[in-house]
Amino acid sequence: MTSDHFPIEASISMGYQLENKSAAKRFNYKKANWQLFSEILNSQIVNITKSSLTIDQLNDKITEKIISASHKRIPYLSQKIYKASLPPNIVNLMKELRKVRRNFQKTRCQKLKQKFNQLTSELKASLKKFWNQNWFDFIEKIGKNQLTSRPFWKKINKFRTKKGSNLIPNLILNEKEFKTNEEKGKCFGELLSSIFSPNSDLIDSEKEIEILNSNSDFFRNYNQSNFNDPICLNELIMALKRLKNEAASGPHQIHNLMLKNLPRNSLIEIIELFNLSLREGRVPKAWKTSNITMIQKKASSLQDPLLTN
């Protein structure tokens, strides 16, 4: 009860559904044309006053409008293919090495084998020298007094292969092994369900009664009219200003930068959605869906699902 938030009573369903989805394309917000983005939204105004849309239908309409305008006026990030440009002497060494290897496989000549081993040693030494020089040039370029490690991770990520970056190792829990993605997903789902399920053995009845009485006193003494006051445009604008630009988007891919660049008409539609939610005492079903990413704890086994956040 030391929190500064208002008490909220919530019912949480632990049901989960596994979906096979391809990775969504990422938007390049630095090159977004926000002016045309606003113009498209202004040309697709939802008539709220004469509309009999339910809260879910209204939310879907607003979401579709924003996503549609985003696809038209925000370019996608191009998939970067990192190809390190090797110097000509190393490229020529590699070509000669392949040629000698092919001839050796045909003739099994010992002189070719010796030459192959010699070229292999030369190639390894040349590559080592090249990459070392590459790193020295990189460190000299960024300077000695770096305030962030971002440039280093950006450099390191260039050498990571896309193939193995998203692979989840086999999980082992209670001496049972989970191999397929579906089995791993169910394992995490059941683990989260057990963590967040109420445990009657740990509930203090006296403490529970104290919390219920405290909540009742709060709502009895608090001015109820403040809960029923409709949300105004200034409140929404101030809330949008406090949103972080770097925050990740949810399942519907609506980013905070999209919300911050909405025109006035779209903001009014969102206000109507919020006030409809307050009047009906419920939120759209889409708001109850979330993406959960399990993150491995430091210095823990990759195969233990319990050692995740």
- pLDDT (tens digit, 9 = 90+) per residue, 197-220? 665 555 566 777 787 778 777 766
> What is the rounded end-to-end Cα distance, in angstroms, of the chain?
25
Please, which pLDDT band fits residue 23 given cuts at 50, 70 and 90?
low
Please, which pLDDT band fits residue 267 given cuts at 50, 70 and 90?
very high
Question: Which H or E run contains 172?
Answer: strand 171-173
Query: What integer pLDDT is reported at residue 81 of this predicted model?
Result: 46
CA dist., res. 60 & res. 251, Å (int): 13
Prediction pTM value: 0.57
Residue-wise DSSP of 173-224: ETTEEE-SHHHHHHHHHHHHHHHHS--GGG--HHHHHHHHHHHHHHHHHS-T
Predicted confidence (pLDDT) at residue 227 exceeds the cutoff of 70:
no
Torsion (CA) 117, 121, 124, 126 in degrees, nearest 10: -130
Q: What is the pLDDT of residues 131-158, one digit of tens each?
A: 888 888 877 777 767 667 777 777 777 6
Q: What is the pLDDT of residues 87-112, one digit of tens each?
A: 889 989 999 999 999 898 888 888 89
Judge contact between 261 and 237, C-beta under 8 A.
no
Which is more confident, 5 or 72? 72
Residues 6+ apart with CB under 8 A from 34: 73, 261
Mean pLDDT of 247-254: 84
Q: What is the pLDDT of residues 41-100, one digit of tens each?
A: 988 876 665 567 889 999 999 999 999 999 988 998 876 544 457 888 998 999 999 999
Judge contact between 307 and 191, C-beta under 8 A.
no
Judge contact between 193 and 13, C-beta under 8 A.
no
Predicted confidence (pLDDT) at residue 6 exceeds the cutoff of 60:
no
Predicted confidence (pLDDT) at residue 247 exceeds the cutoff of 50:
yes
Which is more confident, 24 or 110? 110
Mean pLDDT rounded to a whole number for the chain: 78
Query: What integer pLDDT is reported at residue 2 of this predicted model?
Result: 45
Q: At what angle do helices 34-42 and 55-73 cross, to 10 degrees?
A: 140
Query: What integer pLDDT is reported at residue 297 of this predicted model?
Result: 67
Tell which residue, 250, 259, 240, has the closest CA to residue 284: 250
Query: Of the given ranges (35-39, 53-57, 140-144, 277-281), which has the lowest mean pLDDT?
Result: 140-144
Structure-token match 């938007």, residue found: 27
Predicted confidence (pLDDT) at residue 257 exceeds the cutoff of 50:
yes
User: How many C-beta neighbours within 10 Å does residue 147 have?
Assistant: 6
User: How many C-beta neighbours within 10 Å does residue 142 have?
Assistant: 13
